[in-house]
Amino acid sequence: KKKDGSPNQYGINMIHAIMGCADVGQLTTKMINAHTHIAPELTNKRIGLVLQKTLKTKTNGQNTYSFDILLSFVAQTRQTLEEKLKGLPPEIIDKKFARLQDKDERKNAPATYHQQYQSEYPGDDVFFG
């Protein structure tokens, strides 16, 4: 859920894509301790993830970074869920890697770098239809 309590559609779509890549039809939750919950159906499943490094500025002015999941894929075949379901050869991952750059959200970052990258990313609809 988002901070405002509404569903996080991107997160829901990502979980569904991961489930599809792992051949898991339904998830359950198992509590390990008060702060840790797992989905046992995904335990020991191999899933590929395309991660993007996002450069950020902390509130104290220091630079930091995070990694965001852009795309999941079947680790053994390198197929995205869409390619797997349609019986297509794996092509999307290599195309994504060819264009992948760090995303710069730092304060005082060069505007052209940030704007150029944003216009290049097609959005989630391409991958999660």
Is pTM beyond 0.75? Reply is: no
Is there a domain that residue 1 lies in? no
Domain assignment of residue 55, yes or no: yes
Sign of CA dihedral 4, 7, 9, 11: positive
**Any domain includes 90:** yes
CB proximity list for 66: less than 8 A, separation 6 or greater? 53, 54, 56
Mean pLDDT computed over 14-23: 95
Neighbouring residues of 63: CB distance < 8 A, sequence distance ≥ 6: 55, 56, 57, 106
For the chain, the domain total comes to: 1
pLDDT digits (tens, 9 = 90+) for 60-105: 989 999 999 999 999 999 999 999 999 999 999 999 989 999 999 9
Write down the pLDDT at residue 21.
96
Average pLDDT across the chain, whole number: 86
Question: Does 4 fall in a domain?
Answer: no
Residue 17 resides in a domain = yes
3-state helix, strand, coil in the chain (%, to 5): 35, 25, 40
pLDDT of 127? 44
Q: Domain residues for 34?
A: 9-128
Which is more confident, 42 or 110?
42
